[in-house]
Amino acid sequence: MTTVPYLDLAAQYAAIRDEIDGAIAAVIDASAFVRGPFVDEFERVFATAIGARHFLGTGNGTDALFVALKMLGMAPGDEVITAANSWISSAECISLCGATPVFADIDLDTHTIDPEDVAAKVTPRTRAIIPVHLFGQAADMGALTRIAEKHDLLVVEDCAQAHLATTGGQIVGTIGDAGAFSFYPGKNLGAYGDAGGIATDDVDLDARMRMFADHGSDPTTKHDHRMEGINSRLDGLQAALLAAKLRHLKDWTALRQSRARLYDGLLAGVGDVVTPRVRDGNDHVYHIYCIRTAKRDELRDHLHRRGIATGIHYPTALPFLRAYEHLGGRPEDYPVAHRYQGEILSLPIYPELSDEDVRRVADAISDFFASTRA
Ligand SMILES: *Cc1c(COP(=O)(O)O)cnc(C)c1O
């Protein structure tokens, strides 16, 4: 029996059913299924929401990262530095270009990519950095931008978990050369299927990405393929319902933040629990509320027995996945990512989560530590 699910997309749909059903019906009435006016409209409103000049919808967030890197010229022989703890897309996109992922460890407080380790990993082959705004908190863009400028590197932000997050007053996705977003259903702004997109202020890059993501074809003239590309287009249904949901995103973000503040207070001083730390100047949007404890596995079992679902993001850091075995990453090369993969636990957090549910989760965690005190 699950009393507190990790995520409750049905509750969100129930709250905005008329808007979603209306959006879907409009697309079907217009038979505007792939790209078309609903996609144009979503691209326009999302660009406005984050303050980007251009926004291109893609089939998913992984493609968004890949299309951006590819059109920025990543190729075999190039190295791209990415975070040791992330979803695999943050590294796959590099290999898909034929380039080599180079992992940098994460920082102790925020779990985002550690600029000091990034600086240490720069070689003459390094072409770009992918700051991952992990859990909904911006990476240290000030330090990373300085490194990028010093070594003439491109910056592609992975914003898949960080819609509307800001750092130093700037919205993520508008700081680097391009910002890739995912609208996977569970993300802070989620479609009802796969969807993603790329923000940039560079009109030429936007044009190249548009072409590449649509079979290398000139968007104004059908059958004029200037190059080979891929098929990664946003579809009309996803675009229309994303536009409807976007109207709620600020409110939903504020609700996530208030749930996080409640957890912060209730979990302060409980056992050895470390609650999320927010870097000065950051506005964290809490896609994930990630705590740490040395008793992670026992705590997780205890919560599951109480019907409280949790997640681990991620149980194996990227350098230690079998997919990256050939890169030879050792635990001592990524000490923070290696230690944290055994300590991190993601608690339920979503706008529809009630204060009562937050209290239930926090109480269950307190009970666990009260009963295991040696
Ligand atoms: C979800 C996610 C992606 C990939 O997005 P998809 O839409 O699932 O392809 C990339 N990076 C991070 C950090 C993510 O969480």
C-alpha of residue 284 to centroid of ligand 1, in Å: 18
**Cβ(58)–Cβ(233) below 8 Å:** yes
What phi-psi label fits residue 290: left (phi over 0), alpha (psi between -120 and 50 degrees) or beta?
Answer: beta
Helix axes 61-71, 203-212, angle to 10 degrees: 120
Atom of ligand 1 nearest to the CA of 63: 9
Specify the amino acid at residue 227: M
pLDDT at 373: 66
Cβ of 232 below 6 Å from ligand 1: no
Provide the whole-model pTM. 0.98
Specify the amino acid at residue 208: R
Cβ of 238 below 6 Å from ligand 1: no
pLDDT at 221: 80
Strands 344-347 and 178-182: unpaired
Atom of ligand 1 nearest to the CA of 194: 7
Cβ of 314 below 6 Å from ligand 1: no
Cβ of 188 below 6 Å from ligand 1: no
C-alpha 340/C-alpha 318 separation (Å) is 12
**Cβ(206)–Cβ(56) below 8 Å:** yes
pLDDT at 374: 47
C-alpha of residue 255 to centroid of ligand 1, in Å: 22
Instruction: Identify the residue whose C-alpha is closest to ligand 1 atom 2.
Output: 160
**Cβ(198)–Cβ(178) below 8 Å:** yes
Cβ of 112 below 6 Å from ligand 1: no
Cβ of 184 below 6 Å from ligand 1: yes
C-alpha of residue 63 to centroid of ligand 1, in Å: 9
pLDDT at 220: 80
Cβ of 90 below 6 Å from ligand 1: yes
C-alpha of residue 90 to centroid of ligand 1, in Å: 8
Ranges of residues in the chain with a pLDDT under 70 are 1-2, 373-374
